[in-house]
Amino acid sequence: MNVHQALPAKRSRALEPLGEFAADVVAGLTAKPKSLPPKYFYDLTGSSLFDRITLLPEYYPTRSELSLLEKHAAEMASLLPAGAALIEFGSGSSRKARILLGVAANIECYVPIDISGDFLREDAAKLRRDLPNLAIYPVAGDFTVMSELSAGIAASRAGFFPGSTIGNFEPHEAASFLRRAGEMLGRGAILLVGVDLAKSPDVLYRAYNDAEGVTAKFNLNLLVRINRELGGNFNLTNFEHHAFYNADKSRIEMHLASTKRQKVRIGDLTVDFRAGETIHTENSYKYSIESFRALAQGSGWVPVQVWTDGLFSVHALRNAAD
């Protein structure tokens, strides 16, 4: 597991040597069009802001998925083998895993993987207090760079990838992720994946443009993080949250739009912005049940079962690859 490394706060004005965060920021802000990878939303503040998003009236995906899990957890758990290790990709506050763990006596240990290391450690401490009989092995790192898990983790593994975090990948990246997850979990393994569904553009628009402005704060926190960790001087009042549904690509796009022509410094790098120019910060792809099944089948997985309320879906997939 490649543990996420960023430059320590204000350490280097010259951005040398480049940590992974610094290198990705330089690459993204010198590219045309400008973009930044969404995985950098999640420092301690970003993870807490995401938790607030999940409670917003407009953000239906979490409510939908929680109620699907509450209704069908026993059936989902019955697909997992005895003595399984449950590996969660992007565990956040583990709220959804708690539902499965509550009914699945067949789960021997829980392995939450998350890039937001401080948040992950706090969450694991709470889980250990609440579930003292469960072995918990948190892994702080990037789940797109997965290598072998520690040998101590049970050989029969099940994967859990809720939240529609898979929608934050480009479809070809989602396919590569599914292939790598298959290698990590082993032949015959079950993967439970939460996938948001395409629906009315108005409902989608509101989910990413909440009235309270929490999603805007979540998006802008990326600039706060660059200022703090990489010595940037973004003035937050000169950038706006933009989120809209791109129907051709079946995805919500999030951007940070420069409200005027300006220069921003990040260490020694100077970045020019035109008025209205944006940094593309996230895509959130929306699938149909059939389009997601086709993606999974093309990546070595056999669809076993799907649970849906029409807004959101949870798929059980079985790994068919060697």
Q: Which residues bind ligand AVI (CB under 6 A)?
A: 53, 163-165, 167-168, 208, 215, 218, 282, 284
Nearer to ligand SAH, 102 or 238 (CB): 102
d(CA 139, CA 117): 8
114: contact with ligand SAH by CB under 6 A:
yes
d(CA 220, CA 204): 20
Residue 279: CB minimum distance to ligand AVI, A: 15
231: contact with ligand SAH by CB under 6 A:
no
165: contact with ligand SAH by CB under 6 A:
yes
Candidates 240, 246, 244, 234; CA nearest to 217 is 240
218: contact with ligand SAH by CB under 6 A:
no
Residue 114 touches which member of ligand SAH, ligand AVI, none, C-beta under 5-8 Å by kind: ligand SAH
Residue 265: CB minimum distance to ligand SAH, A: 27
Nearer to ligand AVI, 249 or 274 (CB): 249
Residue 139: CB minimum distance to ligand SAH, A: 9
C-beta neighbour count of 133 within 10 angstroms:
4
Residue 270: CB minimum distance to ligand AVI, A: 29
The stretches of the chain forming alpha helices (DSSP H) are 20-30, 44-53, 60-78, 95-103, 117-130, 171-185, 201-207, 214-230, 289-297
Structure tokens at 226: 């660059």
Residue 100: CB minimum distance to ligand AVI, A: 18
239: contact with ligand SAH by CB under 6 A:
no
Nearer to ligand SAH, 116 or 299 (CB): 116
Residue 15: CB minimum distance to ligand AVI, A: 27
Residue 35 touches which member of ligand SAH, ligand AVI, none, C-beta under 5-8 Å by kind: none
**251-258 and 139-140 beta bridge pairing:** unpaired
Nearer to ligand SAH, 40 or 273 (CB): 40
Q: Please, are residues 106 and 80 in contact by the beta-carbon 8 Å criterion?
A: yes
Count Cα atoms within 13 angstroms, Cβ side, for 256. Answer: 27
In the numeric block, the tokens 């019955």 are attached to 78
Residue 313: CB minimum distance to ligand SAH, A: 13
Q: Which stretch binds ligand SAH (CB under 6 A): 18-26, 114-122, 199-207, 217-225?
A: 114-122
142: contact with ligand SAH by CB under 6 A:
yes
Give the containing element (helix H, strand E) for 197. none
Q: Please, are residues 267 and 11 in contact by the beta-carbon 8 Å criterion?
A: no
45: contact with ligand SAH by CB under 6 A:
no
Q: Which stretch binds ligand SAH (CB under 6 A): 68-76, 91-99, 231-239, 263-271?
A: 91-99
Supply the DSSP string of 117-154, one letter for each residue.
HHHHHHHHHHHHHH-TTSEE--EES-TTS--PPPTTS-
Structure tokens at 132: 């003292």
Q: Please, are residues 181 and 161 in contact by the beta-carbon 8 Å criterion?
A: yes
21: contact with ligand SAH by CB under 6 A:
no
Residue 229 touches which member of ligand AVI, ligand SAH, none, C-beta under 5-8 Å by kind: none
Q: How would you class 11 by CB atoms within 10 Å of its CB: exposed for 0-12, middle for 13-18, buried for 19 or more?
A: middle
Contact footprint for ligand SAH (CB under 6 A): 39, 42, 47, 50, 54, 62, 90-92, 96, 113-116, 142-144, 162-163, 165
